[in-house]
C-alpha cells in the first residue's frame, strides 16, 4: 500500500540555524500537503503542492515538490523558538482516495 516516509524523526537546532525535513513516497503523488502541530496542539495546514517541481515560499519556510512527484521537502531558514513543533507531510496517491501522513519530524529549537 501507499507509504509516505519522512526524515529525520527529530532535529535539535540552535535558534538561527536552518532546518530541513524530507518526505518520500513509494508511489507518485497527486499532491503533498504540509501540516504543523505544536506541542499539545492539533495539526494546522501550512501548504499544498500539486505541480511537478513546484516551489512555494511562506516567509522563512520554503516548500518543494520533486519533479517525479514522489518527494518533497520543507526548509526553514533561521529558525525561531516559535517554529518548535512537529512537521508532517501528507500525500495522496494519484487516483487514491485518502491522504497518508508521514511519521513527522519533531523540531526542537534552543534559544
Partner 1 sequence: DTEVTQTPKHLVMGMTNKKSLKCEQHMGHRAMYWYKQKAKKPPELMFVYSYEKLSINESVPSRFSPECPNSSLLNLHLHALQPEDSALYLCASSQSEGDYEQYFGPGTRLTVT
Our finding on whether 39 is near partner 1 (CB under 8 A) is no
The residue (of 11 and 33) whose beta carbon lies closer to partner 1 is 33
Cα-based distances in Å from 15 to 12, 45, 82: 10, 23, 10
> Could you give the C-alpha distances from 92 to 7, 28, 51, 86, 109, in angstroms and in order?
18, 9, 13, 20, 30
Among 5, 50, 55, 78, binds partner 1 (CB under 8 A): 50
Task: Single out the segment in contact with partner 1 by CB under 8 A; choices: 17-25, 62-70, 71-79, 96-104.
Answer: 96-104
Q: Is 95 a residue that touches partner 1 (CB under 8 A)?
A: no
Residue 85 interacting with partner 1 (CB under 8 A): no
Amino acid at each position: 500500500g501507499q507509504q509516505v516516509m519522512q526524515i529525520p524523526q527529530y532535529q535539535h537546532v540552535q535558534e538561527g540555524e536552518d532546518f530541513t525535513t524530507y518526505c518520500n513516497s513509494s508511489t507518485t503523488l497527486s499532491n503533498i500537503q504540509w501540516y504543523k502541530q505544536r506541542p499539545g496542539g492539533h495539526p494546522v495546514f501550512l501548504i499544498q503542492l500539486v505541480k511537478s517541481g513546484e516551489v512555494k515560499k511562506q516567509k522563512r519556510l520554503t516548500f518543494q515538490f520533486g519533479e517525479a512527484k514522489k518527494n518533497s521537502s520543507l526548509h526553514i531558514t533561521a529558525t525561531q523558538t516559535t517554529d518548535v513543533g512537529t512537521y508532517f507531510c501528507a500525500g495522496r496517491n494519484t487516483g487514491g482516495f485518502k491522504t497518508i501522513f508521514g511519521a513527522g519530524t519533531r523540531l526542537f529549537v534552543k534559544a
